[in-house]
A and B are shown apart, each in its own frame.
Chain A
């Protein structure tokens, strides 16, 4: 197991390296010079060829690509000093570059935005598991009844709505139309500064949107997995042993049904942690998702690069965790 994790981590590092190279190359050989965006920004869109050249030279974009990539990697480990036009900026390790917009080290902003994104992800995922799994189990046990059919079809309807539309409607109705007290002022307010209540009420609607939407999906996953598990032979065996229904359903049925659910959850949760663009944008939460959206719009290349790298790292780690958890849940799976 340990050897497996180490092996997976090594291959993860490999993948991250490849991703970083790919991103680097993409903007190096992009449609315009990589210095174009910052030049435009600094000169209020009056970037002349001469000015562009200055930016390119100071940012090192006239050097060969591998040399600059080397510097970039080195910066991640030991930090570096970056020059933009005539100003020098200090960027300590791990240096992911400077935002073209704020001239601040990208890393600092990244770190400052992680709590917001993680708050949304954890709260939303908590909600959808909390409701999705038990409702799914209950539906599976009442499979075929009117209640089950009504539930399944209404949930199917909700999950067929595109998520951004769903989140937007939630926001519209709850904040504008109904003006739900306390929760209408959405956004991220750090617990440490504004206290837990403000933090909670700011994120509440985002959680509800994510939670309801996820809950409809997880109810369906759980129901499906549970229906299958309950029709297995070992359930009949458990019954034949004289076990109480509760033990049969939860200890034997749910235990088996959880395996596929946990697998899907791991991947989903990783995606949430990497930044939820729609949720953050709609509920005005200053998280990584929104940040990357802004960076793309503002052609803030170092930020785009950093957020992409961050997603890759989070996804690789969550995939590894899924595999480890899977092997713990299903003893037939040997990690090696």
Chain B
């Protein structure tokens, strides 16, 4: 039994939904309780006297990268295989869902790493591994000198304070039978860190931080709107002053105008409390705004990782390129019609039986023989840029011959060259090296 209060209440079903389904009548009043005063931002400002300049001031520009920040969380070769069982009395394991298969990355202190990719690529699983809702099959997760992957649930308990999670659905992740005060205060009591009579004070403080009226601590979640509920979820995650927050699709269940409120709040919180974020989302534009560094996942693996400018400006992996070109762009209105885009055919293959070699090859327009034979290593090709593709290159200038042959000791078709000495193993370090392989010069270069 885990001690994580988040985990517990996420499983609690809401009664509200069930009632509505049963009566068949739509409830009108719950969505926006009129007696709840509208609050905005981290400081209680009545909208009445809010003018555009003040509002704009509170809106944030995209978060900037701090290249010198040390890593607070280092994930190395992390794996999560879910067993697939046969049915029947004796349930044999007949295969594994390779939900996360050897990913490595660093989350910088007070920074944020974005995790993007199609549905089912393992983003949530990664988040759940870091918060240790699952125990990893392999790999390590170094936090504060300790390997989270190796700790038992009991040893994990004190560390749970430091690694917290914000859930996607503000409607199901809060227990409808508990007041906001007890939801936000629960972690304090579980971890026994402030005296009982101080809990309320801390709760009110937190509610104020997330822009809710502190007097509302004894209300129930259904008296709040979706955006306000997500604020409650954020307050709960902040209760214990975490160092790392895993935000799994924190805004995708919210209305567009409310999304921006919550993203700004998260940016405020990051600046004020110096929390590091692992920010999971499938909305590439939100991730671009919130995360100076982004990892792109495909079928359990990171295929490209780098800073915002590189990933969005000159992606080198065919999948990243396809993903980005699929995003509809508001700017297109000025031109009219649809953008030219790379069409990805077919569906993501099953993670139980992923394709050999490069997992993307079944949908990749550049795939060649080598792609089926050898898995491309996640190769550092820039100061803060790694990509896993034999034919990595900017859109329109993918090389004709594989760039990885020398490193892997194979020929252009992917067959091992006798006598060759591979210089690169499949395994790369979680962070960035001082030197990297330059695609143009085909040389190892550095700063």
| Chain A contact residues, CB within 8 Å of chain B | 7, 11, 143, 224, 227-228, 230-231, 336
Q: B87 to A227, Cβ gap below 8 A?
A: no
Could you list some 13 contacts between A and B, CB below 8 A? A7-B88, A11-B89, A143-B24, A224-B22, A227-B22, A227-B24, A228-B21, A228-B22, A228-B24, A230-B24, A231-B21, A231-B24, A336-B87
A336 to B21, CA, bound (A): 31
Q: A143 to chain B: which residues have CB within 8 Å?
A: 24
A228 to B87, CA, bound (A): 31
Q: B24 to chain A: which residues have CB within 8 Å?
A: 143, 227-228, 230-231
7 shortest interchain CB distances as A-B pairs: A231-B24, A336-B87, A227-B24, A228-B21, A143-B24, A7-B88, A231-B21
Residue of A nearest to B20 (CB): A231
A185 to B171, CA, bound (A): 61
Question: What's the least CB distance linking B61 to chain A, in Å?
Answer: 40
Question: What's the least CB distance linking B220 to chain A, in Å?
Answer: 25
Question: What's the least CB distance linking B16 to chain A, in Å?
Answer: 16
Question: What's the least CB distance linking B28 to chain A, in Å?
Answer: 16
Residue of B nearest to A7 (CB): B88
A230 to B87, CA, bound (A): 34
Question: What's the least CB distance linking A302 to chain B, in Å?
Answer: 33
* A-contact bits for B77-92, CB 8 A (1 contact / 0 none): 0000000000111000
Residue of B nearest to A14 (CB): B89
Question: What's the least CB distance linking B270 to chain A, in Å?
Answer: 39
Q: A230 to chain B: which residues have CB within 8 Å?
A: 24
* A-contact bits for B60-101, CB 8 A (1 contact / 0 none): 000000000000000000000000000111000000000000
Main secondary structure on chain B at its contact with chain A?
loop
A228 to B22, CA, bound (A): 7
A224 to B171, CA, bound (A): 25
Question: What's the least CB distance linking A153 to chain B, in Å?
Answer: 15
Interface residue count for B (Cβ, 8 Å)? 6
Question: What's the least CB distance linking A275 to chain B, in Å?
Answer: 31
| Chain B contact residues, CB within 8 Å of chain A | 21-22, 24, 87-89
A230 to B21, CA, bound (A): 11
Q: B89 to chain A: which residues have CB within 8 Å?
A: 11
A158 to B21, CA, bound (A): 25
**Sample of 5 further A-B pairs with CB below 8 A, known A7-B88, A231-B21:** A11-B89, A224-B22, A227-B22, A228-B21, A228-B24
A224 to B24, CA, bound (A): 10
Question: What's the least CB distance linking A142 to chain B, in Å?
Answer: 13
Question: What's the least CB distance linking B18 to chain A, in Å?
Answer: 11
Q: A11 to chain B: which residues have CB within 8 Å?
A: 89
Name the residue among A7, A228, A231 with the largest chain B CB count within 10 angstroms.
Answer: A231
Q: A224 to chain B: which residues have CB within 8 Å?
A: 22
A11 to B87, CA, bound (A): 14
Residue of A nearest to B23 (CB): A227
A143 to B22, CA, bound (A): 12
Q: A336 to chain B: which residues have CB within 8 Å?
A: 87
A77 to B24, CA, bound (A): 56
A230 to B22, CA, bound (A): 11
Q: A231 to chain B: which residues have CB within 8 Å?
A: 21, 24
A279 to B24, CA, bound (A): 37
Residue of A nearest to B25 (CB): A144
A7 to B87, CA, bound (A): 11
A7 to B90, CA, bound (A): 12
Question: What's the least CB distance linking B22 to chain A, in Å?
Answer: 8
A228 to B24, CA, bound (A): 7
Question: What's the least CB distance linking B142 to chain A, in Å?
Answer: 43
Q: A7 to chain B: which residues have CB within 8 Å?
A: 88
Q: B21 to chain A: which residues have CB within 8 Å?
A: 228, 231
Residue of B nearest to A143 (CB): B24
Q: B87 to chain A: which residues have CB within 8 Å?
A: 336
Residue of A nearest to B86 (CB): A336
Residue of A nearest to B87 (CB): A336
Question: What's the least CB distance linking A151 to chain B, in Å?
Answer: 16
A165 to B22, CA, bound (A): 31
A230 to B89, CA, bound (A): 38
A143 to B23, CA, bound (A): 9
Name the residue among B21, B24, B88 with the largest chain A CB count within 10 angstroms.
Answer: B24
Q: A227 to chain B: which residues have CB within 8 Å?
A: 22, 24
Q: B88 to chain A: which residues have CB within 8 Å?
A: 7
A13 to B231, CA, bound (A): 56
A228 to B88, CA, bound (A): 33
Question: What's the least CB distance linking A276 to chain B, in Å?
Answer: 31
Q: A228 to chain B: which residues have CB within 8 Å?
A: 21-22, 24
Q: B22 to chain A: which residues have CB within 8 Å?
A: 224, 227-228
A143 to B88, CA, bound (A): 43
Residue of B nearest to A334 (CB): B87
Residue of A nearest to B88 (CB): A7
A150 to B62, CA, bound (A): 61
A318 to B342, CA, bound (A): 56
Residue of A nearest to B21 (CB): A228
Question: What's the least CB distance linking B194 to chain A, in Å?
Answer: 46
Question: What's the least CB distance linking B214 to chain A, in Å?
Answer: 39
A336 to B86, CA, bound (A): 9
A336 to B85, CA, bound (A): 12
Residue of A nearest to B26 (CB): A231
A6 to B179, CA, bound (A): 52
Residue of B nearest to A232 (CB): B21
A336 to B88, CA, bound (A): 8
Question: What's the least CB distance linking B21 to chain A, in Å?
Answer: 6
A224 to B18, CA, bound (A): 13
Question: What's the least CB distance linking A12 to chain B, in Å?
Answer: 13
Question: What's the least CB distance linking A14 to chain B, in Å?
Answer: 10
